[in-house]
Amino acid sequence: MKFELPKLPYDLNQLEPVITAKTFEFHYGKHHQAYVNNLNNLVPGTKFENATLETIIKESDGGIFNNAAQIWNHTFYFMSFAPNAGGEPKGKLAELITRDFGSFAEFKDKFAKAATTLFGSGWAWLVINKEGKLEITQESNAGCPLKHGLKPLLTIDVWEHAYYIDYQNRRPDYIAAFWNIVDWKVIEERL
């Protein structure tokens, strides 16, 4: 199976000023593309040659895992956004957030803390755990909740390449701006 860089549902400049076209050129156009290219070079002749990304993530390790997970994580991240989005979730997702975190404000604080305090590179995730409750997890490097049997709903990429062009070393500013582009309809559909 040949993997391809997914087409984004928005133009590269449509999420400005939160994420600029220049950041997209590097983050999506170079980093994400490199993971796709690397995986396409790594899987021929292995048991993963015709596997889905999800299967590769759950069953592999090393370079194959790292590139597959980074393709999946980045695609999931980029597909969580829309121009003129943000605000607060509604419906079932809002109910679950209130049930499991107390309020949307408390959820945002806990999610931001997970993203801010993750040492080095990685991801903060909102997931549904095996008991059906929402929780926030941190994953270093290419870590992916699928590997642990969790259902991802939302993620923020805190590798420096996700924000350094626009925010330099100000990770908290990037995290604060992130909420302005989250497409809560897409996140709700993932339930």
- Interval 51-103: pLDDT, tens: 999 999 999 999 999 999 999 999 999 999 999 999 999 999 999 999 999 99
- Interval 93-147: pLDDT, tens: 999 999 999 999 999 999 999 999 999 999 999 999 999 999 999 999 999 999 9
CA distance 108 to 166: 22
Structural domain contains residue 8: no
- Are residues 102 and 59 located together in one domain of the fold? no
Range of the domain at 44: 21-78
CA distance 42 to 121: 23
Tell me, what CATH number does 44's domain have?
Answer: 1.10.287.990
Burial class (CB within 10 angstroms; exposed 0-12, middle 13-18, buried 19+) of 18: buried
How high is the pLDDT of residue 1?
A: 78
Distance of CA 178 to the CA centre of its chain: 12
CA distance 152 to 54: 12
Tell me the pTM: 0.96
Q: How far is CA 119 from CA 114, 169, 174, in A?
A: 10, 13, 16
Identify whether the C-beta of residue 126 lies closer than 8 Å to the C-beta of residue 108.
no
Distance of CA 3 to the CA centre of its chain: 18
* Mean pLDDT, residues 149-164 taken together: 97
How high is the pLDDT of residue 18?
A: 97
- Are residues 142 and 121 located together in one domain of the fold? yes
Q: Return the H-helix or E-strand segment holding 122.
A: strand 122-128
Q: Is the pLDDT of residue 11 over 90?
A: yes
How high is the pLDDT of residue 147?
A: 96
* Mean pLDDT, residues 21-37 taken together: 97
